[in-house]
Structure 1
């Protein structure tokens, strides 16, 4: 190392500042009003979401179902979103044309859906995306993107596996971004073939102008490597790569006469950051103050850097001063120009779960599998998605897992091949390899030109279900009633004569479910309105900023026959059973809820009751209430009210002189319709029992608190049945242009053989999108008994409000 002092007897360390320091955070920075801090705060002010989708496979046969579970996280918190509801999922072809799309409903940051791989698809590569509308506001790639392969086994020409040629692409990236003359430079290496895959085990050497070898290096299984050398001002350095006996030569970038070189070393409990300059640079910047910024897209920490009279400054950064996951180191000059940047990943602080040895219970036709998950707090939300495939599968090759997609991918510009590798069975070797990858990544996805000059704007709204505006065409109506749907209770909209429209947000219509409206005229007459509605969103939006997408990971397949692979597709029986399954789950959950009713008695209306009582009034009379139903009006009274203050006291003259008669005018029973308190009950005149789902009757009126109610009746309709004749005649049906796609029960296709090579490599056994921890601490599921020896179980999931799991378990099914 050259310094201004040529006295060789002095120790090298006397010219290096080695500092342990405390960072200044945004709110505590002495330069709090500096441009860097101001613009960073402005750029990161809008909250970000990120998404990850666990797919049941990545290679599909025509006739199968592509199934997936999507997880949405806060980018800064790494916890599942409690507010995201509208999730968009698309499959596009190689021309970026969307082939299929749907909107699915997320709850507590988790949703699941599926696509049928049907006649719309041909053999080829496709791209699956999962995102929210809000993600479209940001340049960083916060959405989920995964390549897929689809094979039409009946096509005459099934695409052959692409073969690479001998040409390779190599990049040699100086750590931090600059080659500097007469300074030791650390260089990241990335070598790829013409398909974008890393070239494994390529050997290379750096040579000078006289072909003298300066250093040797070798790439790992993903084509990643690293070397250090000191370039001079004269020599033109080159790299000679040898791969499979073929040599190729690449010129190294010319080193700069002045500049700053960076080297970072992970010392396990701290990071050593070394900034080096040559003598020419020292003369220019000795008295200048630089700023080292460290951030993760949320928190920015800074420290001043000054070279003074030394050509090397070393900063020792304690792990506790870094954030779990990505830390972006950027050096700025006095004018806040970014000079160099380095990414570092801190594994410590990421909460990882592990799956223990499974328990197997075998019956004649099925196998129950229980897998214990360690360190689970069952009181906190958790969800696990599981794909079960034959052990020798070639069809499950995602590039990311839930950890890499959450902690790594949103912060880099390009893609990292098989990034899931660095977060599965984590070792010290994998940590070292990931660090080499990050050197080769260069600058992060946070472009400083954009940070300073183009902060994001909320051009695309944060969606909560579907909203609408309804234009009013009838001034005679005083109220509009929107009937209950599967996910929404009945709503009543009161309008004034001056109102021209009304609207609502937070609607969740499912699977082309229609929305029904009735108008309530000023004379309390119910009629069919003539509304013109505009909905938002009205279509699935596309997302453009997907950047470079990782190619589908290679797994060599043996020569197999594609004929007679399946004799029954996945969806052949799915549609006819879905409605039954969903309806059964819904009834059970409602009955559980009704048994916990605090006041009164619940009556669930079944088909037998509907046959026995044509009108609602008939049924209510049998429960001890008095019903006056005549001339289009309906009033319900409690003949024996329990609570005090049940009516108005009326005094009249008696028939005898100087006498009076005293009576009490009884109040009618309070009526609720789908939790809307009715001010006028005439809408229930001759109301059919066809729609009524259940009724809560509280004769004491206790549920109304201290208002002295003579009784309360709450009527709930069933949105899954057709509306009654009265309601059809007096209601307007409106179809929203976009509704939520409900989750479908997953069915595996029936294969011609379960011992064939085809099935072992491309078959699927089971998919379980929404598993939760049972009372015994296990996740459990059943698979059919197909006489195979071993299965691969791929588990992804979240728990404990911030813990992650991503693992593969090979489970033997035969003892």
Structure 2
């Protein structure tokens, strides 16, 4: 007998011991968990807008999420961003470095012809999955040469679909039938009135659609009954279709998800089916992303309707997939619901605006306090903009799209308000979507295999052609302050992992023998990941609507001038002015900055400056040795105490001290010397003699190392692209109307809140009154923020 359940069965996690109840249960649950063992990254990308002119820049921010845990995907580092043309051919590609589940970047569009393009952001690990987890946005580059696309569809062509709840109709039960109607462009059309007729033309029930062309009605069906649907659309078009015949045997499901605290699940069957169900145990599973709760279904003689009451606090957060299995583990009916009573969705609200003569400061507030660090992005556009046409937001991307097949029209609408109407419309969407995007055939027979590894940083692998008596190879990359040693195998192979190598920079190699002497390395090197071209399938992605790009082409001439302006927009906290250009990370205790300007010549050796500040400097066959004249003790070997030497915050080992040999003042930006050991550094790598921090000029590394006979080099042809600081186009002030449609006020990719949950930024004043803030964000606790705020600035 079915009862009102106060608590569903436990979550099924990744432990085989959880599946020892009985063979059938274990078979379903074990395969389900196995299918989701590999946890994919899901990416959402916000762009600063969707329509650009060719001399603008596309700015974007990407968020990486684990939909199972509903937390940022913290282990992701390597993220790819690529631009494709309308035929799916790759035009440009970048490698981005993600930290704490976020990254951002840009593409300059000056070389792009007017037309439709796609921005795809993805990872290598996603290639293991048949489902799509990347982000893909359509963008348009406007211009005089952008030919309007022809509308190949008929003006009044509509697709009207009848979609039974659970997947099929059943005789002798009160079926719920969802419907949706799409126009030639794939958009929902409004049904003003509709009715269901029997074979005699009698009206059985009436209906109408919501604004997105969806709705539902209930209908009791008898064996061999014929029913028709008539619908009148807003434009006067009439739709007539026959309702499919119901199945004579089976089970049906009806869901009531409008109650605030409970989910009601009705399992129905009929007289023809019930005798076959007696003494058989069916099961109802509520699941998502490898997490599952189960209830046994035991049918009783003479009972055709079974009501299950599930407290929503016992459901999974967000999407829940409800599937009924028969005694042979075959899925019979399925329904997707959204649990809005328990989600990671958080709100953001406007605190105040502070207008000034040239700019306006805006302050916003969340309830997240200090959980968000640089995890909010905001695009600021005029309120009459035509340039921002994003079809989804971070909430719909992470909480809805991974489970639904196909495109979702106005996906952001379903999370714009948490009221009864949007809850009802979201449930209609899920009803009409039918079963989830995950195929049970794949779940039971072909779980994902890890054929593509999870990339973490970059790798350098190579072979030394002249190993001889050399035992180690030294790797140097100045831009990331990286100097590493690696052993060399008997066959001459070596490797370095988890590197942060910037695009178009150089890496250097030197060999070290047992006597710790250095010599130039003759090496063959491969750098991973390497640049690879790919393509995307744009079938079904190309816009079918005729696009009137420029209402008056001449009106937009000289809209954007050649100059750009850099906006210092983020004003989160007042930072103290530092005397130093560089930040000392190690050995900064009781430090003294050495004044170089007007005191030392450009050709003065840095070792002479160190010697003049309390240290003895010795030349040795291995390079340079430095000892304190007045240290706090002696090393374990009995020699005078040595200081820790840091060059660009990279601790120098004995073999690396060769860099100091010919280092001159002209190569150096700043020098800091402390003759006092820093707490925690004594005994780590010398340090009893104090600490010396040297910061070199950007031009030093390449010039110096190229001259050294002990270093060979290789260019990183495809490395990480560092995000540039936002540059605002220099708009023509006389073109106010064009600016209101396609201009950008600001793009702020990395905002952080203070201890009160507030954050603020500035926007320039362009003689407008209303502006739009398109806000997206993700907290370290998995909280998701998406909101559009209109602000009046008078």
Q: TM-score, normalised by structure 1?
A: 0.87
Select which of 128, 142, 145 maps to 1:155.
Answer: 145
Q: Does the C-alpha gap of structure 1 residues 671 and 478 become closer, same or farther in structure 2, counting only changes over 3 Å?
A: farther
Deviations 1:382-417 (A, max 9, x none): 521111111111221211111111111111122221
- Give, in angstroms, the shift of residue 774 of structure 1: 3.5
Of the structure 1 ranges 434-443 and 478-487, higher mean CA displacement relative to structure 2 is found in 478-487
Counterpart contact for 1:467–1:536, Cα < 8 Å: yes
Select which of 339, 360, 364 maps to 1:367.
Answer: 360
Equivalent runs, 1:165-564 vs 2, <5 Å: 165-243=155-233, 244-266=235-257, 267-309=259-301, 310-371=303-364, 373-378=365-370, 381=373, 383-476=375-468, 477-495=470-488, 498-539=490-531, 542=534, 560-564=551-555
SS state at 2:482 partner: coil
Unaligned runs of at least 5 residues, structure 2: 569-574
Q: Find the aligned partners of 1:139 and 1:445 in 2 and give their Cα distance.
A: 11
SS state at 2:348 partner: coil
Of the structure 1 ranges 237-246 and 534-543, higher mean CA displacement relative to structure 2 is found in 534-543
Q: Find the aligned partners of 1:353 and 1:553 in 2 and give their Cα distance.
A: 36
Counterpart contact for 2:148–2:547, Cα < 8 Å: no
Counterpart contact for 1:514–1:734, Cα < 8 Å: yes
- What residue is the counterpart of 1:780 in the other structure? 760
Of the structure 1 ranges 238-247 and 273-282, higher mean CA displacement relative to structure 2 is found in 238-247
- Give, in angstroms, the shift of residue 671 of structure 1: 5.0
- Give, in angstroms, the shift of residue 333 of structure 1: 0.8
Counterpart contact for 1:377–1:800, Cα < 8 Å: no
- Give, in angstroms, the shift of residue 515 of structure 1: 1.5
Select which of 669, 673, 689 maps to 1:711.
Answer: 689
- Give, in angstroms, the shift of residue 303 of structure 1: 0.8
SS state at 2:167 partner: coil
SS state at 1:723 partner: helix
- Give, in angstroms, the shift of residue 596 of structure 1: 7.9
Select which of 117, 128, 137 maps to 1:137.
Answer: 128
Q: Does the C-alpha gap of structure 1 residues 46 and 511 become closer, same or farther in structure 2, counting only changes over 3 Å?
A: same
SS state at 1:331 partner: strand
- Give, in angstroms, the shift of residue 171 of structure 1: 1.2
Counterpart contact for 2:463–2:525, Cα < 8 Å: yes
SS state at 1:101 partner: strand
Q: Find the aligned partners of 1:454 and 1:647 in 2 and give their Cα distance.
A: 62
- Give, in angstroms, the shift of residue 70 of structure 1: 0.6
- Give, in angstroms, the shift of residue 71 of structure 1: 0.7
Select which of 66, 71, 95 maps to 1:79.
Answer: 71
- What residue is the counterpart of 2:729 in the other structure? 749
- What residue is the counterpart of 1:20 in the other structure? 5
Equivalent runs, 1:662-741 vs 2, <5 Å: 666=640, 671=645, 674-678=650-654, 681-682=657-658, 684-695=660-671, 697-700=673-676, 704-705=681-682, 711-714=689-692, 716=694, 718=696, 720-723=698-701, 725-730=703-708, 731-741=711-721
Q: Does the C-alpha gap of structure 1 residues 223 and 486 become closer, same or farther in structure 2, counting only changes over 3 Å?
A: same
Q: Find the aligned partners of 2:503 and 2:428 in 1 and give their Cα distance.
A: 48
Of the structure 1 ranges 273-282 and 632-641, higher mean CA displacement relative to structure 2 is found in 632-641
Q: Does the C-alpha gap of structure 1 residues 262 and 634 become closer, same or farther in structure 2, counting only changes over 3 Å?
A: closer
- Give, in angstroms, the shift of residue 622 of structure 1: 1.7
SS state at 1:268 partner: coil
Deviations 1:141-191 (A, max 9, x none): 322222223322x32744578886101001111000011122211011111
- Give, in angstroms, the shift of residue 544 of structure 1: 6.1
SS state at 1:687 partner: coil
SS state at 1:305 partner: strand
Bigger Rg, structure 1 or 2: 1
- Give, in angstroms, the shift of residue 570 of structure 1: 8.2
Select which of 790, 793, 805 maps to 2:785.
Answer: 805
Deviations 1:60-117 (A, max 9, x none): 2222221111111112122212211111122222211122221211111111111122
Q: Does the C-alpha gap of structure 1 residues 559 and 258 become closer, same or farther in structure 2, counting only changes over 3 Å?
A: same
Q: Find the aligned partners of 2:334 and 2:380 in 1 and give their Cα distance.
A: 42
Q: Does the C-alpha gap of structure 1 residues 552 and 272 become closer, same or farther in structure 2, counting only changes over 3 Å?
A: farther
SS state at 1:51 partner: strand
Q: Does the C-alpha gap of structure 1 residues 174 and 600 become closer, same or farther in structure 2, counting only changes over 3 Å?
A: same
Deviations 1:719-748 (A, max 9, x none): 732326552133222122321111112223
Counterpart contact for 1:492–1:676, Cα < 8 Å: no
- Give, in angstroms, the shift of residue 522 of structure 1: 4.5
SS state at 1:483 partner: strand
Counterpart contact for 2:199–2:225, Cα < 8 Å: yes
- Give, in angstroms, the shift of residue 263 of structure 1: 0.6
SS state at 1:155 partner: coil
SS state at 1:452 partner: helix
Deviations 1:511-562 (A, max 9, x none): 322222222345544333221111221025758699976x879999898323
Counterpart contact for 2:559–2:735, Cα < 8 Å: no
Q: Find the aligned partners of 1:449 and 1:610 in 2 and give their Cα distance.
A: 76
Q: Provide the alpha-carbon RMSD of the alignment.
A: 3.3
- Give, in angstroms, the shift of residue 781 of structure 1: 1.6
Q: Find the aligned partners of 1:329 and 1:589 in 2 and give their Cα distance.
A: 62
Counterpart contact for 2:114–2:140, Cα < 8 Å: no
Q: Find the aligned partners of 1:190 and 1:555 in 2 and give their Cα distance.
A: 24
Of the structure 1 ranges 793-802 and 22-31, higher mean CA displacement relative to structure 2 is found in 22-31
- What residue is the counterpart of 1:31 in the other structure? 21
SS state at 1:108 partner: coil
SS state at 1:280 partner: coil
Counterpart contact for 1:94–1:126, Cα < 8 Å: yes
- Give, in angstroms, the shift of residue 619 of structure 1: 1.8
Corresponding position: 1:765 with 2:739: no
Q: Find the aligned partners of 2:599 and 2:73 in 1 and give their Cα distance.
A: 43
Q: Find the aligned partners of 2:585 and 2:276 in 1 and give their Cα distance.
A: 80
Q: Find the aligned partners of 2:499 and 2:585 in 1 and give their Cα distance.
A: 27
Q: Find the aligned partners of 1:540 and 1:588 in 2 and give their Cα distance.
A: 43
Counterpart contact for 1:386–1:769, Cα < 8 Å: yes
Q: Does the C-alpha gap of structure 1 residues 531 and 604 become closer, same or farther in structure 2, counting only changes over 3 Å?
A: farther
SS state at 2:341 partner: coil
Q: Does the C-alpha gap of structure 1 residues 66 and 72 become closer, same or farther in structure 2, counting only changes over 3 Å?
A: same
- Give, in angstroms, the shift of residue 361 of structure 1: 2.5
Counterpart contact for 1:397–1:553, Cα < 8 Å: no
Of the structure 1 ranges 472-481 and 43-52, higher mean CA displacement relative to structure 2 is found in 472-481
SS state at 1:490 partner: strand
Q: Find the aligned partners of 1:188 and 1:67 in 2 and give their Cα distance.
A: 40
Q: Does the C-alpha gap of structure 1 residues 540 and 237 become closer, same or farther in structure 2, counting only changes over 3 Å?
A: farther
SS state at 1:176 partner: helix
Deviations 1:451-485 (A, max 9, x none): 11000111111111111201111213332222233
- What residue is the counterpart of 1:567 in the other structure? 558
Unaligned runs of at least 5 residues, structure 1: 1-15, 579-584, 649-664
